[in-house]
Amino acid sequence: MKEGEEARPTAVGTVEEVLPNSLFRVRLQPAEGEEGAEQPLVLAYLAGKMRLHRIRVLVGDQVDMVLDPYGGRARIVRRLT
């Protein structure tokens, strides 16, 4: 990690809906011990490197995200499946 860069919370989720302008509605995967609870939806956008290399994200894909510290949004940094 670079100097002065703080650790950001990450999460894994499944793309539920594709929206215009490279936005996605992603359902977070449950944490350990929370299998019964309904998981929240997060509005996510593609990271710049994913746009640069034209990596496609489709409905049903699992993605790795960096969560915004203020909540409600996330940046998709990796497509897992």
Q: Where are the domains of the chain?
A: 10-79
Q: Is the pTM of this model over 0.85?
A: no
SS3 state at 51: helix
Q: H helices then E strands: how many in the chain? A: 1, 5
Whether the CB-CB separation of 76 and 45 falls below 8 Å is answered with yes
| pLDDT score of 4 | 47
The pLDDT > 90 percentage for the chain reads 64
Token readout for 67 is 């969560």
| pLDDT score of 5 | 55
Best CA proximity match to 16, nearest among 6, 30, 26: 26
Average pLDDT in the 15-36 region? 88
Residue type, 49: K
For the chain, how many residues are written? 81
| Domain 10-79 falls under CATH 3.30.70.20 | no
pLDDT for residue 3 is more than 60? no
Average pLDDT in the 63-77 region? 91
pLDDT: which is higher, 21 or 1: 21
